[in-house]
Chain A
Amino acid sequence: MAKRAAPEVNAGSMADIAFLLLIFFLVTTTIPKDSGINRKLPPIDDSEVEPPIIKQKNIFTVLLNKNDQLLVEDEPMQIKDLRQAAVEFLDNGGGTDNNGNTCDYCQGKKDPNSSDHPDKAIISLKNDRETSYAAYIAVQNELVAAYNILRNRRALELGPQKGFNDMDFIKMQNNQKDVRWTGNKEKLKEVIDQIKLEIPQKLSEVVE
């Protein structure tokens, strides 16, 4: 029997496949963006104004020594416990804020020896020159996480009243920035600002 030559494969649709793939990748790839922890440095203050006296119980001291060991409120602590400790301190609500209001959204122990109000509670972070940057970032991360836990909880309480269901604080902020989000941005901003006001990030760093 005579052997037939193999028929040539039709390559006409190859270009279509290539374009299909090209468009798929064009749509799905995102250029990686830098991300990190935003901080605002305090301006240099030359004025001789006496700093206001802050009660010791309203300050949560975090010390990070040159061996990357933590000392929180004069007690050694593992970094994994820092988040919970900071949440408990901020959420305590044992007293009143400057206007005499009690913290009605706090769920803490109301311990009179811990912070009075989230508005008054200050976290003070001190590090050594020899502290490693990685440890410093880990501590910063845990402290930001503590604030975020409380803000998220507050957002889930406050959101439904204002018509934003199932949105925690992080999601609210993302939606606020997202141009594709269809919702009342002004109203959302009000909620975000209220939460920021109720649980302000008061993180102070000691500069020697």
Chain B
Amino acid sequence: MSKFKKKKDGGLPPVNTASLPDIVFMLLFFFMVATVMREDTLFIQNQLPLADQVEKLDKKYPVSYIYMGKPSENYKKFGTVARIQLNDKFADVSEVGRFIDAERLALREELIPFLTVSLKVDKEANMGIVGDVKQELRKVNALKINYTTGIGDALSNIK
């Protein structure tokens, strides 16, 4: 009988799990810090072209985003031509002016002249729609724009 008892003593001790919470918290904090919240849910394809002469978009001043691109896989019913997305919905070119006015209303008055419009345009979109939006922006006097791009070799944009 003693033979069996001895075998039981020799079993592995349980792994200490006291530090598991630490590890989990560490991961939690890491992701909390590193993740960026997306401002809008995108309905469109939005693969930005690359450029290397870029300047950082300063968040010190207010930034409004205008997205352009063709509707993504789930929104194919809206067609395959590049469209504009403002906030969380598709929009027409004529709505850009009103969108900028609404953005300005939400700002403190002294910041209004510093409003930068970031154009996030899919690289497959053509310039027609971008030109139209630029024209609309000129009409409402929102003249500071930023062609938001990825960072990389610009020549790779053209095959």
Contact = CB atoms under 8 A, between A and B. Distances in A.
Q: Give the interface residue-count category, chain B.
A: 35 or more
Interface residues of A, number: 52
| Chain B contact residues, majority secondary structure | mixed
A36 B51 contact: yes
A36 B146 contact: yes
A22 interface: yes
B33 A25 contact: yes
B146 A133 contact: no
A136 interface: yes
Interface in A123-159: 127-138, 140-142, 144-145, 148
Interface of B: 6, 9-10, 12-13, 16, 18-19, 22-23, 25-26, 29-30, 33-34, 36, 49-57, 59, 63, 116, 118, 121-128, 130-131, 134-135, 137-139, 141-149, 151, 154-155, 157-158
| Chain A contact residues, majority secondary structure | mixed
Nearest to B47: A134
A77 to B, nearest CB: 12
Interface of A: 2-3, 5-6, 8-9, 11, 14-15, 18-19, 21-22, 25-26, 29, 31-44, 68, 79-80, 127-138, 140-142, 144-145, 148, 207
